[in-house]
Structure formats: structure tokens, C-alpha cells
Amino acid sequence: MSDRPEISELKLRNHIESLIFVAENPISLKDINDTLQKSIDLSFSEEMIDQSIEALREKYASDESAIELVNIGRGLLFMTKADYHKSISTFLNLTAKKRLSRPAMETLAIIAYKQPVTKVDIEQIRGVSADYSIQKLLEKELIETAGRAETVGKPLLYQTSSLFMQYFGLNTMKDLPKYSEIIPEVNRIEQEMVQNTEQNTPDTSATIQNES
């Protein structure tokens, strides 16, 4: 008689469900199997795991659940259904504003709407140094570098990360509210910059007429 433990289909499904639930990133079938083998000293065929996953998929496909099981790349992740994104977005925006300082929110808004963008561009819009805000946003993994600009000095370019979408409960970047609604003060400063630039641009048409 074997000393190896046995596990029912329900228990296997529950183990897999718990692993997907706690995974911060999409979890692969290999990671699931490796974890189960180490934790309960059992390995399972790909077919058995697939059956459990399909059972979970059917369970969460029901209208009784606001969660669904989705494939992202080669992994699995629980996500909220699209019908509830607006409520989640509202909640996450409220909580995110509490966690992020105003300068960080302003910097993040500029990056989200202008990406990819350099630190110099951000500072020109805000009118102050963005070093600290960029560092904090990088630490929170809400932004990431996107290569270097083809300008003098080749400064780093910044863009929002995949975590940014999850953090604010967005399905696509089209779900972002209007720029002026998020950071009206930054929008006002930027508009003033454009107006000042236009006012300071010499009228070359009058010069050409005089020369002719």
C-alpha cells in the first residue's frame, strides 16, 4: 500500500484555484504542477490540470460571479469582468489618489497621456523638478523606461507599465478620463506654455511683405 497521499478532483481544483488567486502575475501550468508536487508530493498530468482549469472557468463564467478566469500569455489570472470595471476604476482612483502625492499624480498623468516622454518634457510641463516623483513611480512599478530619445544626450523615455492598468482598473488606455479632468492644473500650465510660445513667435509674414 502506497504512503503517497491521494487527492480528489475537487481538492485538486481547489488547490489550483488558490494558486491562481494569490498569483500576482499570470501563473503557468508548469508552475502550478511544480508547486503541487512540492507542497503535497503529487504530480499531475497536463490533462488532469486542464480539466480542473476548465471546471474553474465554467464556475466563474456564471453571472453569479464578478470574476473570470483568463489566459494571459502562457499563464492564468483571475480578473474582474468588464461589467464591473467602472466601479472598480472609481474605487481604485480614489484609493490611488490617497496613496500618491499630488506631484506624483501629476507626473503620472503626464506620462500616461504623453508617453513615451522624457524627464525634461515632464519638467517643462510641470515647471518643477520631476526626479523624486519619477523615482517613486518607478518604485511602485507604475511606470517603466521605454528606451532613449533620439535627441542630444539620449535621455531616457518613460511610459506607463502593465501594472498601471491594473492599479487604476483600466481595461484599455481608451478608458482613461480626459486629461484636463484628471489634472486640471497641469493642463492649465501646459495651455499657458503653448499660448506663450505662440505669442513669442515672431510674425514672419510682415517681415516678408516689408522686404518685398
Q: Quick one: fold of 9-80?
A: Arc Repressor Mutant, subunit A (1.10.10)
Percent of the chain with pLDDT over 70: 75
Residue 99 has pLDDT above 80, yes or no: no
pLDDT value for 101: 81
| Phi-psi category of residue 141: left, alpha or beta, with phi > 0 → left and psi -120 to 50 → alpha | left
CATH of 84-196, picked from 3.40.50.2300, 3.40.50.170, 1.10.10.10, 2.60.200.20, is 1.10.10.10
For strands 143-148 and 156-160, give the pairing. antiparallel
Domains 9-80 and 84-196 share a fold: yes
Side-chain-side CA neighbours of 37 within 13 Å: the count stands at 10
pLDDT value for 24: 82
Q: For residue 35, which amino acid is it?
A: T
Residue 67 has pLDDT above 90, yes or no: yes
157 pLDDT band (50/70/90 cuts)? very high
pLDDT value for 53: 94
Average pLDDT for 119-128 = 90
Q: pTM higher than 0.75, yes or no?
A: no
Report the mean per-residue pLDDT for the chain: 80
109 pLDDT band (50/70/90 cuts)? confident
Domain parsing of the chain, residue ranges: 9-80, 84-196
Task: Render pLDDT for 10-61 as a digit per residue (tens, 0 to 9).
Answer: 999 999 999 999 988 889 999 999 999 998 887 788 889 999 999 999 999 9
Cα 75 vs. chain centroid, distance in angstroms?
Answer: 17
Residue 156 has pLDDT above 50, yes or no: yes
Cα-based angle 55, 57, 60 (whole degrees, multiple of 5):
110
Which of 88-92, 136-140, 146-150, 197-201 has the weakest average pLDDT? 197-201
Cα 136 vs. chain centroid, distance in angstroms?
Answer: 15
